[in-house]
A and B are shown apart, each in its own frame.
Chain A
Amino acid sequence: MTSLPDTSAPGQKKLGLVIDLDICVGCQACAVSCKEWNTQGYSAPLIEDDPYGAEPMGPWLNRVHAYETHSESGDQVVHFPRSCLHCEQPACVTVCPTGASYKRAEDGIVLVNPDTCIGCKLCSWACPYGAREYDHVDGVMKKCTLCVDRIYNEHLEPEDRMPACVRACPTGARHFGDLGDADSDVSRLVSARGGYDLLPEMNYKPVNKYLPPRPRRDGGGNDLQAEALDGRAVAGTDGSVSERFFAWVDSKLSD
């Protein structure tokens, strides 16, 4: 079971997500809808330890970080959702001693069988992306299922047959599809926007791709920020009577 399926055949189905870092606003809707769906779905329950106390802790299968970047040409804030990348070479699967962790041959989804997991945590050690979180209450490992219980679910309306995070995203920053098919919408998006792998040097061959933020038109907003911090630019006048009047009032009030 923990032996990896052969996914080298051309056209092999590789379901995954494409996350657009240019669009993500960090609203956490994907993280919340993920927790909501999966606490009643395949990974159920996702219990918080001490939920109303000082130190609540429990598994979330999707986490949204915020990073700031700094360079001569400008500063930028990037919101960064992080979940299982459903790698083609997932060491989390091969280290599993029980066969509870496995990669599906038919679509490449990496899953944990909650009925056979012994909770040894070795798979979480083997994942560089922090995709697996141990559930202390359940005693088993939890991870993103790519909403395997939604995407093939014929009880749902066709437009709902996608991962909960993708369905919830209000800005369209998350895309779901077959990254093994070069002609799929997601594959075309990746090639058009220069989608990339996280930690490619570790050779896990993630299926999920990230689209880089586009360059900012205003150079990262540094000029506007400098103007705002420098009061003169804001208090300056265009020479009209009313402007001069308000400038006079402003200077009197500022004394």
Chain B
Amino acid sequence: MHPAYSVILFTTASGAGYGLLALAGLAGLSHGAASSAAFALTSMAVALGLISLGLLSSTFHLGHPERAWRAFSQWRTSWLSREGVAAVATYVPALLFGYAWAFAGPGIAVMGILAAIMSAITVYCTGMIYATVPTVRQWTHRLVVPVYLSFALATGAVLLLAISHLFNRQQVAQVVIAVVALGVVLVLKLAYWNSIDKAERTLTIGSATGLGFLGEVRQLEAPHTTKNYLMREMGYKVGRKHAAKLRRIVVLGLGGAIIFTLLTQALSPGLATASALLAVLWAMIAAVTERWLFFAEAEHVVNLFYGKQAA
């Protein structure tokens, strides 16, 4: 599948934003109002800023962005519609929580937990958009949704740690959450790659065309001489060597983020802040590369009609 930059930016930026929002909500639930309004406002501005940036960028790849509001209507069947509804609905508890957290307003516990739950639901919907596309075996995999959720939590956790360091509000618990979440992403992603590499390709050009009973099937002539929409959108191929290199970048990014997160505990305050910011950088490099690969390694069934032997 063709990796659209707007969709990669959307899922990684909004994922990190929802992760940060969920953790901030849980912090408000357990600690009450923030000890510094500036810290609370910065965290909320970063979280909602990333979410809004992501949602905006997701409309860039639409043919008719001005009709985007219509996407809230089909939540009964469409995960994309559900995601839109959940994303917009999350702003309500998020803004109420942000106010209560920064200015010791009412309802902080309820709004905090609601914001965290709504964040998780929204990221779950994002993952389900892909997990319910039956034509791509790499997407219907059962680890797709857990990877989306854990990546959001991990990138949100390193963001929270970095912001905490900037305002001198860092806690050991934040380090633990970030390291565990990054570790979970790493394990899930390695298991996912191992699984999709090993999985049998059950659909063949013979079953797609129904001509398998005549023997080996090959495409003799394509219906058109230049690439059409299907070949550009679904036919995107990434070289095996290239993919292996990019997978290593994801692993290195996650590993680097874990190391820089742990280093914040060992370094002097100034260096610890720099280390926390570097952890964010490495985690985001891993997230963006992973999301690019998620599209580039996805093999769509329609390629069978264009001569691919199995999918």
What is A's interface to B at a CB cutoff of 8 Å? 1-3, 21, 31, 54-57, 59-60, 63-73, 75-78, 80, 82, 91, 93-100, 116-122, 124-130, 133-136, 138-140, 196-202, 210, 212-213
Report chain A residues within 8 Å CB of B133.
Answer: 91, 95, 122, 125-126
CB distance from A28 to the nearest CB of B (A): 8
A126 touches B135 (CB 8 A): yes
Chain B residue total in the interface (Cβ 8 A): 59
| Nearest A residue to B216, CB-CB | A70
Taken together as a complex, chains A and B put the C-alpha atoms of A68 and B218 apart, in Å, by: 5
Q: Which of B215-231 contact A (CB under 8 A)?
A: 215-224, 226-230
Chain A residues contacting B218 (CB-CB under 8 Å) are 67-70
B224 CB, min distance to chain A CBs, angstroms = 7
**Are A199 and B301 in contact, CB atoms less than 8 angstroms apart?**
yes
Report chain B residues within 8 Å CB of A67: 205, 209, 211, 217-220
Residues in A whose Cβ lies below 8 Å from that of B132 = 91, 95
Are B71 and A201 neighbours in the complex by a CB distance under 8 Å?
A: no
User: A57-B228, A59-B229, A124-B229 given as contacts; is B73 within 8 A of A99 (CB)?
Assistant: yes
Indicate if B239 sits at the interface (CB-CB under 8 A). no
Min C-beta distance of B1 to chain A, whole Å:
7
Contacts A57-B227, A119-B63; A2 near B134 (Cβ below 8 A): no
CB of B301 within 8 A of CB of A118, answer no
Minimum CB–CB distance for B291 against chain A, Å: 16
Q: Are B74 and A96 in contact (CB under 8 A)?
A: yes
Report B277-309 CB contacts with A as 1/0, cut-off 8 Å: 000000000000000000000001110011000
Option from B73, B216, B230 in Cβ contact (under 8 Å) with A71: B216
Contact of B268 with A by CB under 8 A: no
- Chain A residues with CB under 8 Å of B64's CB are 117-119, 139-140
Does A198 contact B208, Cβ atoms closer than 8 Å? Answer: yes
Whether the pair A120, B214 counts as a contact (CB closer than 8 A) is no
Partner of B74, one of A99, A138, A199: A99
Minimum CB distance partner of A77 in chain B: B220
Is the beta-carbon distance between A125 and B300 smaller than 8 angstroms? yes
Q: Which of B71, B76, B213 has the most CB of A within 10 A?
A: B71
The 8 Å CB contact of B305, one of A3, A100, A129, is A129
Closest to B205 in A: A67
User: Does the CB pair A99–B70 fall under 8 Å?
Assistant: yes
Alpha-carbon distance between A134 and B63 when the two chains are bound, in angstroms: 9
> Which residue of A68, A98, A117, A129 has the most chain B CB atoms within 10 A of its CB atom?
A98
Chain A residues whose CB sits within 8 angstroms of the CB of B129 once the complex forms: 95, 122
Q: How far is the CA of A82 from the CA of B222 in the complex (A)?
A: 11
25 residue pairs of the A-B complex, CB under 8 angstroms, read A54-B226, A55-B226, A57-B228, A59-B229, A60-B224, A66-B220, A66-B221, A67-B219, A70-B218, A71-B215, A80-B209, A82-B223, A91-B134, A98-B73, A118-B64, A118-B71, A119-B64, A122-B129, A125-B133, A125-B300, A126-B133, A127-B302, A130-B305, A134-B63, A138-B63
Contacts of A64 in B (CB 8 A): 223
Contacts of B210 in A (CB 8 A): 196-198, 210, 212
| Complexed CA–CA distance, A5 and B222 (Å) | 35
Distance in Å: Cβ of A66 to nearest Cβ of chain B: 4
- Shortest A67–chain B CB gap in Å is 6
B207 at interface (Cβ–Cβ under 8 A)? yes
**In this assembly, does B42 line the interface, its C-beta being within 8 Å of a C-beta of chain A?**
no
- Please state if A82 and B305 are interface contacts (CB–CB under 8 Å): yes
9 nearest A-B residue pairs (beta carbon): A119-B63, A71-B215, A139-B63, A63-B223, A69-B214, A97-B81, A97-B71, A98-B70, A130-B302
Give the chain B neighbours of A138 by CB distance below 8 A: 63
Q: Could you tell me the distance between the alpha carbons of A69 and B305 in the complex, rounded to whole angstroms?
A: 14
Q: Are B223 and A118 in contact (CB under 8 A)?
A: no
- Cβ–Cβ contact B223 & A56, under 8 A: no
Further 13 A-B residue pairs, CB within 8 A, beyond A60-B224, A95-B79: A54-B226, A55-B226, A57-B229, A60-B223, A91-B134, A99-B74, A118-B62, A120-B62, A126-B133, A128-B302, A129-B305, A197-B210, A201-B202
B27 at the A interface (CB under 8 A):
no
* Nearest Cβ on chain B to A215's Cβ, whole angstroms: 9
CA distance A126 to B129 in the complex (A): 10
B135:A128 contact, CB within 8 angstroms: yes
- Of the residues B67, B221, B305, contact of A98 by C-beta under 8 Å: B67
Contacts of B80 in A (CB 8 A): 95, 97, 120, 122
Most buried by A among B68, B210, B228: B210
- What are the residues of chain B within 8 A of A60 when measuring CB–CB? 223-224, 228
